[in-house]
Amino acid sequence: MATEEMRARSARNTNPFHRIPFQRADLSAPENGGGGTKELVTVTRQYRAELHDTLVTAASALRPEIARYPNSPGVLILKLRDKAIAKSHRPNTLVAEAGLLSAGVGRIEEMLVAANAVTIDSLARLIRFRETKKIRANLSAIERIQAWDKDRRLSATVPELRERGRALLSLFRYHAADATAQNVDALRAVLQRFNMPSMAMVQRWGPPVFRVDLEQISDEGLEALSMFPGLRSIFPEPKMYSASAVPGFIPGPVSPPPPGINHPIVGVFDTGTAASAASLRPWIASTAPYVLPPETDYVHGTAVASLVAGAKVINGDHDWLPPTRCQVHDTCGLEAAGGNTTDLIVRLADAVRNAPHVKVWNLSLGGGQIGDHEFSYFAQQLDALSDEHKVLFVVAAGNYKGLPRRGWPVGEADLQDRLSSPGDSVRALTVGAVAHVDSPGAMVAAGHPAPYSRRGPGPVFTPKPDVVHAGGGVHADWSIGASSLQMLGPANALYGSFGTSFATPIVTSVAGHLWQSLEGHADLAVAPHMVKALMIHAARLASPDYGAVERRYFGCGIPKDALSALYDSDDCFTLMFEALVVPGFKWRKAPYPIPASLLHNGKLRAEVIITAAYSPPLDPNAGAEYVRANVNVSFGVLNGNRISGKVPMEGEAGTTGYEAAQIEHGGKWSPVKLHRKRFPQGVAGDQWAIQLDTLLRANEPPLAEPVNVALIVSLRSLDGNAQVHSDGVRSLVQSNWVRQQLPVRVPVHV
């Protein structure tokens, strides 16, 4: 990212984005479609015999568990072919006729079903003898059948579990509430029988997760748990850490808040701020102490809070740093040496519940590297808290400290530098880091991904991080230097350091101002997904069109400031739509208002940038299919009643059939959609339109309410034509769409 690319065209507070509220007339009648049932491979007698053999092997593995725990069914894995992952090919008829019970999803190609001795025998007969067209098609979708047994249940070896000390027990949620409740009771009975103390963690979705202290559990008790068929997973409780800071000696307190200015208040959940950091105290609006010395030294929390309160002023008014200063709800909830995940979740939930006025929360922490197939436990808990309290978490992508060191461009080494938990939260705004200052000895140039900044994608190719910001540069021996970021220490002096921990509060401060600027509409409830969409869109407007590999490091780029997330430059015209979508219906707005200055001989000559964000239903029991609804975006030309999309979605590219399937049925279900296209030669069209439709996962129940989508569309001149925004407003007025200015107030920039 070159320096000149960082400088977005200047947004003007006379050019507000326009909000287009939802209208029932935007929804069209349902469309019916879908193909017939077909065999993906020929189901011969030999095919049936081989599939039956895999069932026999799986049943043998489950039989001892089912015999020991008759009140909890065993779980079979129906391993699907790559081309059978689509929900239209799921073997649901086979499952229903066998009397099996859906138990969720494992990896993207794994359909899980609960079974007992009777239903296993029924499944065996269907595999061997049933000849209906639907059953044959269902059988052709299954590559093999496996057992969800002890080996799959234990996510770490017994010695590794013992070494960690605390473990979490995650139960299956079956598609029958009584079966799930019976399974919970059966686990409680096992815990009581072996005198295993436990703590039940109530979940927003599904049965509770139980925390156990393995120091108080015998080998016999642990063996009993590992054999319990109703457990989806037994895994070590993750531990979360803040980035360590390196002290320095540059004096310079944080300047106090100007009088008469109503700065937003954001939550900082960290190691707390030091009372001795006197210049920071005027920015501390309130406190919530959960951790006290000696468990905290206040170093990391003071640094993070100082960047929320004044990153720009304590870093020499650097051009890339936003002037959006916020007050802090100081929540001391993280130990300096790191904390256990369940302890942090309990504290964070209590803090959010007790501060309903705080809508944006900074989490500059991280644990272990995420996996490929499932979203981390902490990420799932953040998603649940976000939904329950309607708050936005801004989360660090995490720091890579391993060897070899990473430069830019990245070499061929296979580094363990993927995101850390909870950066994979689908509701959160995840922040990576770039260097912001060129300096002799710095490991990367300004604008390049910082060597420590963990990269995407998230599980099943979900695009992450969302954005990046200045996190401080690293010098050749992994030390601070002139390119590092300045922050405040407990002694009220500035020092240099680096980490995604410090890029995150800069983004948090922008999000806090953005949320505040949207409040006050009579008919608009500000929502986390809306603020997230605007933040991502602002980053895209200020950044080049990254390729798939670059996006793993840069995300969507740097959000310049709150003003550019709400106001256009003169050469750009932006609308934000509020859309409610339901399966089977199309949401469409047409004809789309095109600025006259972007039309040349009937052709649209412009850059089109589209960002959509929404909060689909989630299900931790669904594994790789955690996100349960997808929204498709189309911007293009109407041909009769059909739209011809002209702006493709940006995403990952698969290099193998299995990887392509993961992207198609995982990454493309991401609740953030990115579309971008330049038309230097122009593209013809008499009537332009924007359209959304939604699709549910296999076996997902009907939606309780529509999916609420924040859809942002910018049409930008390719040659800096300053008439675009004013022309767009005139075209919008002529459309007679219901509309209003999006921002209620201009963000505070002092």
Q: Residues 397, 465: contact at Cβ < 8 Å? A: yes
The two most distant CA atoms of the chain are separated, in Å, by 83
The type of residue at 311 is A
Instruction: Compute the C-alpha angle 12/555/432, nearest 5°.
Output: 100
Provide the b/e sequence for 635-649 (b: ≥16 CB within 10 Å): bbbbeeeebebbbeb
Q: Give the H/E segment covering residue 741.
A: strand 740-741
Q: Residues 293, 337: contact at Cβ < 8 Å? A: no
300 is catalytic: yes
Q: Residues 640, 651: contact at Cβ < 8 Å? A: no
Q: Give the H/E segment covering residue 512.
A: helix 500-518
**Catalytic residue, candidates 26, 82, 149, 270:** 270
**Catalytic residue, candidates 420, 421, 453, 501:** 501
Cα dist from 526 to 20, 273, 355, 523, 541, whole Å = 14, 29, 17, 10, 22
3-state SS, one letter per residue, for 452-501: CECECCCHHHCCCCCEEEECCCCECCCECCCCCEEEECCCCEEEEECCHH
CB atoms within 10 A of CB 266: 28
For 549, which DSSP code?
H
Which tokens in the block code for residue 29?
């009648």
d(CA 478, CA 137): 58
Provide the b/e sequence for 425-445 (b: ≥16 CB within 10 Å): bbbbbbbbbbbbbeeeebbbb
**DSSP per-residue letters across 657-688:** HHHHHHHHHTGGG-SEEEEEEE-TT-EE-SSE
387 is catalytic: no
The residue with tokens 């959160």 is: 428
**Catalytic residue, candidates 300, 448, 513, 537:** 300
**DSSP per-residue letters across 599-656:** EETTEE-SEEEEEEEE---B-GGGGGG-B-EEEEEEEEEEETTEEEE-SPBP----SS
For 214, which DSSP code?
G
| Residues 6+ positions from 146 with CB-CB distance below 8 Å | 54, 58, 76, 77, 79
First-residue to last-residue Cα distance in the chain: 28
Cα dist from 472 to 245, 300, 434, 496, 538, whole Å = 12, 15, 7, 8, 22
213 is catalytic: no
| Positions marked catalytic | 270, 300, 501
